[in-house]
Structures are given as C-alpha cells and as structure tokens.
Amino acid sequence: MSTSVPEFQPRSGPLAGVRLIEMEAIGPVPLAAMILSDLGAEVVRIARPAPGYWGEIGSAILLRGRTTVPLDLKDPDQRDQLLDLIGGAEALIEGGRPGVMERLGLGPDVCLERNPCLVYARLTGWGQEGPLDITYLAMTGALHAVGEPARAPAVPLNLIGDYGGGTMFAALGIVSALLQARASGVGQVVDVAMVDGVATLLSLYHELLAGSQWRDERGVNFLDGGAPYYRCYACADGRYVAVGALEPAFFAELLDGLGIRRERYNQTDTAGWPQMAQDFTAAFASAPRDEWERRFTGTDACVAPVLSLGEATEHPVNRARDVFVTRKNVTQAAPAPRFSATPAGIGIDSTATIGELVGRWRNPV
C-alpha cells in the first residue's frame, strides 16, 4: 500500500512564509498552486460562490493544502475585501481569459498600486495579447511530433501544454519573481503563456532539426518511437513493455536479454530498423510482460513494464521511494521535489472568512 502522511501546520517547506492568492481556475493554475502549497506557501484560493461548469473536478488532490474563501467579485464590497487581502500577499496567480481581471477591477495595475511588492502571475494559452486561446499545443509543433507515422497525432493527455508548458513555467516564474521582489522591494507581472512554455520544451528538437538530425515527421526519429530501441512492445499477455536503450552499452544489453547476437545489428543504421523492429516485436510477444520485467531487472537494458495508473501506485519500486501517499482515502503523488533541510508536505485543507485572513495578513509585505 502507499504511505499515509499526516497533515501538518505550520508549513515547513522552502516556501514557508510565502502568502499566495490563487484565483479559481481550471487546468494548469490549480496544479501550480498545489505544488507551491506543497513546498510550504500559504495558499488562499478565492472561489466562486457557486461551482462553475467543471464543479470541483480534482478537488481531492489538486485543491489540497489550501484555505478556500468563496467570494462574489462582482460585489464591490467583496472585491474590496480581496484587495485588502492582496495588500498583505506576496503573490497572486490567475488563469482567466485576457481582460477578465481588469473588468473585475483586479487587474495588475490596481493590485500593484495596492501592493507594490506583489508578484502578479497570469497564466493563459497564448498570452495577454495573442490571437488564439486553446490551440497552443498544435501551434507549437509539439502535437505534430507525437504519434505514429501516417496517422493522426496522438493526444498526450494535458501533460505537455497545460502542465509542462503552463504549470511548471508558472511555478518557476513566481518563485523567480519572488526572489527579485524580496531583493528589490518591487513586484512585477509574470506573463505565462503555455505556447511559450511548450516552445521552450521543444528546444532540443529545434536544434536537431536545424542540424539535419531530426525529420519533421512523427514516428520516424530516435526519440519519437521510430527507433526500435525506443518504443513500446506488446507482450504475450496483451500488456506492454517500454524500451529506452539509447546508449550503445544499453542497446547491447537489450540484445543480450532478447537472445539476439550483438553483431546482428548496427544500432544507428536506420536501414536496418524495419528488420530490427520485426525481431524485437516477435521476441517480446513470446513472453508475458512481468516475465520480461523479471528478466531485465538488474540490467542496464532500460526495459520497464508499462504500468496502469493503479499498478503504478503499488509497484515495489515506487513504494520503496514513497512516490505516492494516501490522504483522505485518495492515493496521490507525494510532494516533489524533496528537500533535505526544509521538507515539503501536504498542508491542511480549510475554509475561512475573508475578514479572518485580512486580519492575519494586515501588514503589507
């Protein structure tokens, strides 16, 4: 079973003492706030009085460790109460469409006038000025590169755009701007566009493409499933293994484990990839997934079972590191990354009135 962890207060992570306001949103914003909360920040989530279209999707995990305050920001008095709270905050993150916060009277100019040290993070698909909204993944080239040849691009969950290009760059941007604000006493706006983040994640592939080491097609290159030594294979039981034997020494061990002579294949000779793929496919289809895991355990062949979400939480390797924890009877990822001196952890979920929080945050940062 996964490891149960106690909730704790006060926070002890590396961001302990940071006060962050999270404006209710879906997609990358709640995950960014969750990560910053796990790292010790005190996060107050400003929620709509009634759930929106998506309700509280993912609330058991994505909204963990926060204080939630329902506010009707179309009410001038409640908006002014939020501005009072902003006066004592260090950072704010919002993910509304461009112009929404301004129409509410909570745009960066207003908030920075109230609190000149504030880090005001804005997270959108295409930035505050861009013409598009949710098509950033397709527009960066990332979607084109994922999938099999001559088939429609595969949908990589929302891991690349929302979470890789959005959440992670938002968290990095907030922490970076907090360092500057604490040093200078001056806050700023952090404009996080997922299209920018995804483009940055593609940096290696632009370099490979420019150096004629990458074909601008999917499923034909060494990191996109085109190489037989870097893809998934079906096993005798219908389950799959993943193979990632990029380095020559690892490739040699892969051949050993499959019972194929090392001299049979030149790893980098793409002309031999079709036959290599046929041999690998036949070999892996001859035994069940768990048998292949047993055979390759302890080697450097880079062969691993493709686990389901449920299997991953119970796998011995993940259990040994406590990758997952159980909280409120829900299995979820443990806080990451890990710190030796200021350990991260999951805070207490709570609710509060805006007046209680303003009283505690009354001194501006």
Q: Which two tokens stand for residue 44?
A: 């107050």
CB burial readout 262-278, b (16+ within 10 A) else e: eeebebeeeeebeebbe
Cβ-count burial of 128 within 10 angstroms (0-12 exposed, 13-18 middle, 19+ buried)?
middle
CB 93 within 8 A of CB 23: yes
Beta strands 230-234; 188-193: pairing state: unpaired
Q: Which of 5, 19, 154 is nearest to 93 (CA)?
A: 19
Residues 118, 101: Cα–Cα separation, whole Å = 15
Q: Under DSSP, is residue 362 helix (H, G, I), strand (E, B) or coil?
A: coil
Active site residue 162: yes
Q: In the block, which residue shows the tokens 């055979």?
A: 295
Q: Which of 162, 237, 256, 349 is catalytic?
A: 162
CB 27 within 8 A of CB 54: no
CA distances from 85 to 115, 134, 179, 318 (A): 10, 31, 21, 41
Q: Which two tokens stand for residue 268?
A: 């980098």
Q: Which of 129, 214, 170 is nearest to 31 (CA)?
A: 170
Number of other residues whose CB lies within 10 A of the CB of residue 43: 28
Q: Which two tokens stand for residue 131?
A: 């013409």
- Residues annotated as catalytic (active site), given as ranges: 162
